[in-house]
Chains A and B, each alone.
Chain A
Amino acid sequence: MSLLSVENLQVHFRTPDGVNRAVDGVSFEIGSGETLAIVGESGCGKSVTSMSILRLLPEPQAQFAGAIRFEGRDLLALPDREMRKIRGNAISVVFQEPMTSLNPVLTVGRQIGETLRLHQGLDARQAEARAVEMLSLVGIPEPERRVHAYPHQMSGGMRQRVMIAIALACSPRLLIADEPTTALDVTIQAQILDLMRDLKHRVGAAIMLITHDLGVVAEVADRVMVMYAGRKVEEAAVADLFRTPRHPYTRGLMGAVPRLGVRAQGRAPGRLAEIPGMVPSLKTRIDGCVFAGRCPDAKDFCRLHAPALESKSPGHLAACHFAPKDARPA
């Protein structure tokens, strides 16, 4: 049984001018200790998906359908009290913005210790001692002193380390990392990625990595899922996806990654490609393929009939009628 299994998840938001179908029919699984990357442009629903797992979306506006099974239990059906026992404990999260994700008026030690006191019943002294340990685990120098510091006394990279310390304090089974390096300097990004990889081995948590940075994906993920306009359009093992992307959107994304020194199909090296067109509005119902409007290979057929995800080769799913398919297994 997989650790997390999301089944046909739909997350729709009630907004003043219509329904925003932010996530529409997404299914995927994460096994214990596995790293799944979710890739897509901003607004494709990847963050909404991850926030639905923790049920952190504003509930009257956000409406859900489908199921999110974590260790067999459907999180969408759990009462709030049970859900709180899971948050920060079995499933924790590192957010994108280290500068704003820590509470400015509480000390770092308190913010780490809080989770421990809540989920593991430690008292204030024990929690602080654990917080010091966690700080040193995430590579913060002078943890005994830093534990009393406030977030504004730390750099962005340091704060993200603190966020990771908070997330890992209770040894979660699943860590959701929502663009954990996007807001950081490039050199710090590499350090944080190294740290996450290192800790993953030590703690043994599964990671759901949300990113729009394919470079990060290639470095840390086992499997990749590509999202577009609230749907999953492709999923494959990392190497497979990078070798043979099947969905035209994924191919577009790959074309959009600058690769130094690699001469990609006659283009000048390092030139960033763009996918022409715009992401369709999620407020109107799309009957055909969501990518048809920007797809170079789209036909009238695509606009009429939405493609289902199908296996294009073993372990490689794509939602495209015309994506190349390996010979069907006999």
Chain B
Amino acid sequence: MLGFILRRLLATIPVMLVVGFFVFGLLSLAPGDPAAIVAGDQASPEDVQRIRASLGLDQPFLVRFGTWGGRILQGDLGTSLFTNLPVTTMIAQRIQPTLSLMLVTLAIAVSLAVPLGVVAAWRAGRLVDRCVMGFAVLGFSVPVFVVGYVLAYVFAIKLAWLPAQGYAPIEAGVRPWLASLILPATTLGCAYVALIARVTRATMLEVLQQDYVRTARAKGLGQGTVLFLHALKNAAIPIVTVIGIGIALLIGGAVVTETVFAIPGLGRLTVDAILRRDYPVIQGIVLLFSFTYVLVNLVIDLSYTLLDPRIRY
């Protein structure tokens, strides 16, 4: 088991290396001379040259990649071209709203999508199933920001039940914090719920065909026990897997959702950085998001042993 964890951890190294290469390549391909940007408009060519050397920009590509990677490993993501703050500081300032948004979304989405998928599979072909599947296709088809604006328009502007914009930090109290997250989390969760519900349904459909489900029914167990204990436990691995993969949806969606709801999180920071061409910040965010994604999926891989006794590492 320990050996397996170690091997899996080692396997993430090439993955992160590719991500790093992509992200670093970005900076090198970026139009404009970073040295000139740092130096500012008033700088003389000599100043630019000096800054270029101090940034190590006169070194060959691979050497620069090496030094850059080394600094990353030490937790130094560089400095924003725009605010001159360390990227890590900027990320730290913005991480709470995004983390809150994602966790709340995750909780709502999973607790909604899995039962929906199970019921849809149980009532396959009936009205409930059609509704769930219809919603699932819709969830994939309506862009996140459209969902966001419609929700905000109805629940914040017309009904005025919830705040339309902004984020209340958790330090200010759980209730306002939660209130500020309900609409964004619902927005962000739509596609995620659709994804999880679809996979849950498909997996459950297969599991419900299995002989052991028939055995469970033959024992006289109620529908709930059959579905949520006997069947769902066997369907757990694909479902948990898609929950992990779907984190990608959440990350991409967070960028948009935070823009719609004016939440000062990492997504908003990404958009700002893109519009300002603040490459070190973009790099830092992409690295962080990808690392999180890889880590989450690693943990999910490891959880398989808990979900299925037949899997032993």
Contacts and interface: CB of A to CB of B under 8 A. Distances in A.
A–B contact (CB under 8 angstroms): yes
Interface of A: 54, 56, 60, 84-89, 92-93, 95, 97, 100-106, 114-115, 118-119, 150, 152, 163, 166
Contacts of A118: 219-221
A148 to B, nearest CB: 11
B212 A104 contact: yes
A152 B310 contact: yes
B220 A89 contact: yes
Given A95-B211, A101-B212, A106 B233 contact: yes
B309 A105 contact: yes
Nearest to B231: A103
Contacts of B307: 105
Closest 4 CB pairs of A and B: A87-B220, A88-B219, A88-B220, A100-B211
A163 B229 CA distance: 19
A104 B219 CA distance: 16
Given A104-B308, A106-B233, A152-B309, A85 B220 contact: yes
A56 B218 contact: yes
B234 interface: yes
A171 to B, nearest CB: 14
B218 A114 contact: no
Interface string B207-241: 00011101111111110000001100110000000
A84 B220 contact: yes
Chain B interface mostly: helix
A110 B205 CA distance: 24
Nearest to A99: B211
Contacts of A85: 220
Interface of B: 125-126, 210-212, 214-222, 229-230, 233-234, 307-310
B219 A106 contact: no
8 contacts: A56-B218, A84-B222, A88-B221, A95-B211, A95-B214, A97-B211, A104-B310, A163-B215
Contacts of A60: 125-126
Contacts of B233: 103, 105-106
B215 A95 contact: yes
Most buried by B among A87, A105, A118: A105
A22 to B, nearest CB: 16
A103 B125 CA distance: 26
Contact of A114 (B210, B211, B217, B221): B221
Contact of B310 (A54, A100, A150): A150
Given A104-B309, A150-B309, A152-B310, A114 B219 contact: yes
Contacts of A106: 229-230, 233
Contacts of A114: 219, 221
A115 B216 CA distance: 9
A300 B222 CA distance: 52
A84 B65 CA distance: 67
Nearest to A176: B218
Most buried by A among B215, B217, B221: B215
A64 to B, nearest CB: 17
A105 B308 contact: yes
Nearest to B230: A103
Contact of A86 (B215, B220, B222, B309): B220
Given A150-B309, A150-B310, 19 more contacts: A54-B218, A87-B218, A87-B220, A88-B219, A92-B218, A95-B214, A97-B211, A103-B212, A103-B216, A103-B233, A103-B234, A104-B310, A114-B219, A114-B221, A115-B219, A115-B220, A118-B219, A118-B220, A119-B220
B220 to A, nearest CB: 4
Contacts of A163: 215
Contacts of B216: 103
A56 B217 contact: yes
A85 B221 CA distance: 9
Contacts of A88: 218-221
Contacts of A86: 220
B126 to A, nearest CB: 8
A87 B214 CA distance: 11
A168 B105 CA distance: 47
A103 B215 CA distance: 8
Given A150-B310, A152-B309, A152-B310, A102 B220 contact: no
Contacts of A84: 220-222
A98 to B, nearest CB: 9
A166 B219 contact: yes
A150 B215 CA distance: 16
Contacts of A105: 233-234, 307-309
A174 to B, nearest CB: 12
Contacts of B214: 56, 95, 101
Nearest to B214: A56
Contact of B212 (A54, A100, A150): A100
A88 B216 CA distance: 9
Contacts of A92: 218-219
Contacts of A100: 210-212
A102 B221 CA distance: 14
Contacts of A54: 217-218
B220 A93 contact: no
Contacts of B308: 104-105
A104 B103 CA distance: 32
A187 B218 CA distance: 28
Contacts of A102: 212, 215
B212 A93 contact: no
Nearest to B126: A60
B216 to A, nearest CB: 7
Contacts of A95: 211, 214-215, 218
A152 B308 CA distance: 11
A173 to B, nearest CB: 14
